[in-house]
Amino acid sequence: MEIDLVYLLSLIGILGSLYYYLTRNNNYFHDKPIPSLAVEPLFGSSRRLFLKKTSFTDFIVDIYNKFPSVKVLGMFDLTSPVFFVRDPELIKRIGVKDFDYFVNHRQAFGASEDPNSGALFGKTLIGLQDQKWRDMRATLSPAFTGSKMRQMFELIVECSVNMVKHYESEIRTKGGPQEHEMKDVFTRFANDVIATCAFGIKVDSLRNTDNEFYTNGKKMMAFNRPIVLLKVLGLRLVPKLMDRLGLDLFDREQSQYFSEIIRDTVRTRDAHGIVRPDMVHLLMQARKGALKHQEQEKESETATGFATVVESEIGRMVANGEKVTPMTEMEMIAQCLIFFLAGFDTVSTCLTFLAHELTVNPDVQRKLYEEILETKNSLNGGQLTYDAVNKMRYMDMVVSESLRMWSPAPSTDRECVKDYVVDDGAGTRFTIDKGTTVFIPIAGLHMDPQYYPNPKKFDPERFSEENKHKINPSAYLPFGIGPRNCIGSRFALMEVKAIIYYMLLAFSFERTPNTQVPLQLAKGFAGMRSEKGVFVEFRPRK
C-alpha cells in the first residue's frame, strides 16, 4: 500500500512538473499593452493548426483579422510567446532599419554547433545565426546575381523544352488532351531543374517517374507525416536533446543520399577539371572565396521583376574584398539541400497555383499568351533568353499577383536577439524581450483590403506600370524582407516564367470536371497545397 502511494505521489509530481513546464510562460503577455490570443497547455494558440483543423495560410489570415485595429498582438506557438506584427511600418523597422535586433530566424527546425554533425538544417543559410549567417550570406550572395542566373538560364530552358515535348508526345500517344494534377506536374519539373542546376546531374522525372532522385526528394519533403510532427514538437520543446541525437527536420537516409551525390560530383569535377554553369560550380568557387560581386551589376539587376528582392550590404561584403570564411564540406552540402527544399516545394507550389489562376481566368491567360507570342517573334526563331523573359511585363504582373494571392510562405519569423522597445507614439509602449519570436504574417498582409482592394480577386493589373506605385512594399513580401530575405528570388522567378512561357506557347490551360473553384487549402502546418489537388487539361494550340 505504501509503495502504491509512493508511485501515485511520484506520478502526480511528474505530471505537475510537466504542467508547470508547459504553462510557465502563459502569463507572458498579461503586462503588455497589446491584445493576445487564448493559450492552452502544450498547443499554445496553435491547437487548430496542429490538429489539422485549418490550413497554415488560413491560420495566419484568421489571426491577422482577429484584431484589425492593432499593430501587434500576442500569441503562443506551443510554449513560446510570439509577437504577431500586423503593421507594415513596424515590419519594415524590424526587418530592415533595426535589423541588428532581429538578425536570426528562430531555431525551430534544428540547429547544431558541431560543424561536422550529420544534422544539416542548422547549417543551411536559413538555419545559421549571427556572424555565421553573415559570413555565409556574404559567401553565397555573389552566386545569385543576375550574371550568374543568366549562365544557368539555358539549363532551365532545356528542362522546360523537355517538359513540353513530353506532353506533346503523350497527347499523340493517347489520342487527345489529358487531365493532369498540377502539383505532381510541377514538382517533377522543379525536381529536374534543381537536379541539373543545384546537383549537377540530369534527371527526367516525367518519363522516368520513379527515379531515385525524385523519390528521395518526395520522402524528404513529406512534412505531413506523423514522424515529422513529432520531430517538430521535439525541436521546439527539447532542442538540446534533439541536437545531441543529431536530429533535425531532414531524415538521415535522404540527407545521406543527397550528401553522397554532392561529394561524388565535387570529387569528379576536382579530379577532371570539369566546369559546368550550375550551383555546384558556384558553391565550389564560393567555398574557395573566388566569387565576387560585380559592381556594374547593381543597376542592371533591378529589372528582373517586381517581386525580386534586393541584396543588402551584408550580402555584398565580399565585393569589397573582405576575407571570406571557408565553407566546410557539410556546410556546402547543407546549402544544396536548402536549395533543393526551396526549388522542389516552393517553386512547384507557386507554379501549381499560378496554373490554376490562369485556368480559371481565361482572359488573363489569353493576354499572357499574346505577350508570349510577341516575345517569341522578337527572338527570330531563337530560344528564350534571360533578358527576354525579364522584359515580359505582363508575365511579371501575372506572377506577382499569383505570389500575392498564394504566397508559398504564409509567414516568416525573426528572433529578437536583444531587448527591443516598441513605441507607437500614441501611448502604446512595450518591450519585445530578448529570445522571443516575431511573426510577420505575409498571407494576412497580402489579403488585407486596406492594401489590396477586393483581395480575393486575381487581378494582375495591380502590378501594372500605372498601378504598382500604389503598393506598399512592406505589405508585399513573397520573398521576405530585409537582409534575411530569400537569396534565390531571381532563380525562382526565372524558373517560373520560363516554364509558363513554354507551356502556354504549346498548350492552353483548360478546366476539367475536377477543377475545384474556389480552391480549398489542405489542413495542417505543412507546406501550402490544395485540398483535392489542382487539375488542369493541357490542350494543344492550333
CA angle 451, 454, 455 (to 5 degrees): 60
* Three-class DSSP category at 518: coil
pLDDT band at 319 (very low <50, low <70, confident <90, very high): very low
Most confident of 109-123, 183-197, 441-455: 441-455
Say if residue 300's pLDDT is above 50. Answer: no
| pLDDT score at 19 | 57
Joined together, the cell numbers standing for residue 338 give 536548402
Residue 294 clears pLDDT 90, i.e. is over it: no
Chain mean pLDDT for the chain: 86
* pLDDT for residue 217: 80
Q: What is the pLDDT of residue 267?
A: 86
- At 383, list the grid cell: 530560344
> Annotated binding residue at 350?
no
CA angle 48, 50, 53 (to 5 degrees): 40
Please answer whether residues 196 and 159 qualify as being in contact, where contact means their C-beta atoms are separated by less than 8 angstroms. Answer: yes
What pLDDT is attached to residue 56?
A: 93
**pLDDT confidence bin for 314, thresholds 50/70/90:** confident
Over pLDDT 70: what percentage of the chain? 82
Peptide bond into 518 cis (omega under 30): yes
C-alpha cell of 492? 525562382
3-state SS, residue 68:
coil
Q: How confident is the model at residue 250 (pLDDT cuts 50, 70, 90)?
A: low
Pairing outcome for strands 80-85 and 437-440: parallel
Q: Are residues 81 and 115 in contact, defined by beta-carbon separation less than 8 angstroms?
A: no
* 3-state SS assignment for residue 158: helix
Cα 386 to the center of its chain, rounded Å: 22
Measured between alpha carbons, how far is 268 from 29 in angstroms, rounded to an integer?
Answer: 56
Helices (H) and strands (E) in the chain, counts: 20, 9
- Distance between CA atoms of 90 and 414, rounded to whole angstroms? 13
Q: How many CB atoms lie within 10 A of CB 257?
A: 17
Tens of pLDDT along 54-109? 999 999 999 999 999 899 999 998 888 999 999 999 999 999 999 999 999 987 66
User: What percent of the chain has pLDDT above 90?
Assistant: 50
Q: What is the mean pLDDT of residues 285-309?
A: 66
For residue range 342-391, what is the model confidence (pLDDT) as tens digits?
778 899 999 999 999 999 999 999 999 999 999 999 998 789 999 999 99
CA distances from 319 to 90, 96, 290, 325 (A): 30, 21, 11, 14
Strand residue runs (E) in 98-238 = 179-181
Domain boundaries, the chain: 5-507
Tell me the C-alpha distance between 530 and 353, whole Å. 9
Confidence tier at 323 by pLDDT (50, 70, 90): low
Q: Identity (one letter) of the amino acid at 405?
A: M
Examine the pLDDT at 286 and tell me if it is beyond 80: no
User: Confidence band (pLDDT; 50, 70, 90) for 405?
Assistant: very high
C-alpha neighbours within 13 Å on the C-beta side of residue 365: 21
Least confident of 5-14, 53-62, 393-402, 424-433: 5-14
Q: With 70 as the cut, is the pLDDT of residue 23 above it?
A: no
Q: What are phi and psi of 464, to 5 degrees?
A: -70, 165
Whole-prediction pTM: 0.90
* 21 pLDDT tier (thresholds 50, 70, 90): low
* Confidence at residue 519, expressed as pLDDT on a 0 to 100 scale: 93
CATH number of 5-507: 1.10.630.10
